[in-house]
Amino acid sequence: MASLLYLTTKYRELFVATNDTPIVGILMGSASDWDTMKESHKVLEEFGIPHDYRVLSAHRAPVAVAEYASGAEARGMKVIIGAAGAAAHLAGVIAANTLLPVLGVPIESPSLKGMDSLLSTVQMPGGIPVGTLAIGKAGAKNAALLAVAVLATTDAGLREKLRAYREKQTAAVLAVKLEA
C-alpha cells in the first residue's frame, strides 16, 4: 500500500512536471518590450501552452542568449519567439544557436517607429531563418498564434482550439453593426 502511494505521488509529480515544462519561449531584449510581448503571453495563456518569458539581450547578455537557445531543444522547447527593438538582432542570434523554429517580433521603436527593428529582424542571411511577424502588438499576438499553429500540427486537441478561436473571431466580425 505504501509503495502504491509512493508510486501515485511520484506519477503525479512527473505529470505535473511534464505539463509545466515550457514548450514555447518568449525572449525580449529589454523590460521596455514587455508591454508589447504581453500579447504573446496572453495568447499562449488562452491556449494553455506552457511557456516562459524573460529579458535576454543579444547585445547586453550575448552569452546567456546563446546558452538559452542552444539548450532549448534539450529542455523540451518547440518554438522560440525573439522580440527586440532598434538594432534588433535577438531573434537572429537565437536562430543561429538552435534548430528550433524561431519567430521574430520587431518592437516599435520610438525613433524610427519600428522600421529599424523590422529590417534588422527580417533581413537574415540565407541559411539561418527567422519567421518575422509584424511590428508591435499585432506581431506579438501573431507570433504566439503561429507558435500555436506549429504545435497544432502534432496535437489534434490544440488544432480544434485554434479552429474555435478562428470561428469566434469570424463571428465577432460578422456581428459588427455600424451606427449611421
86 sits near ligand RP5 (criterion: CB under 6 A): yes
In angstroms, what CA-CA distances link 37 with 26, 133, 145?
Answer: 8, 12, 13
Instruction: Considering the complex, state which of residue 104 and residue 131 has its C-beta at the smaller distance from ligand RP5.
Output: 104
32 sits near ligand RP5 (criterion: CB under 6 A): yes
Name the β-bridge partners of 24: 51, 79
| 95 vs 66: CA distance, rounded Å | 9
95 sits near ligand RP5 (criterion: CB under 6 A): no
**Stretches 61-69, 82-90, 97-105, 151-159: which one binds ligand RP5 (CB under 6 A)?**
82-90
84 neighbors 107 (Cβ within 8 angstroms)? yes
Quote the least distance from Cβ 69 to ligand RP5, whole Å: 16
40 sits near ligand RP5 (criterion: CB under 6 A): no
| 1 vs 66: CA distance, rounded Å | 48
Interface positions with ligand RP5 (CB under 6 A): 29-30, 32-33, 57, 84-86, 107
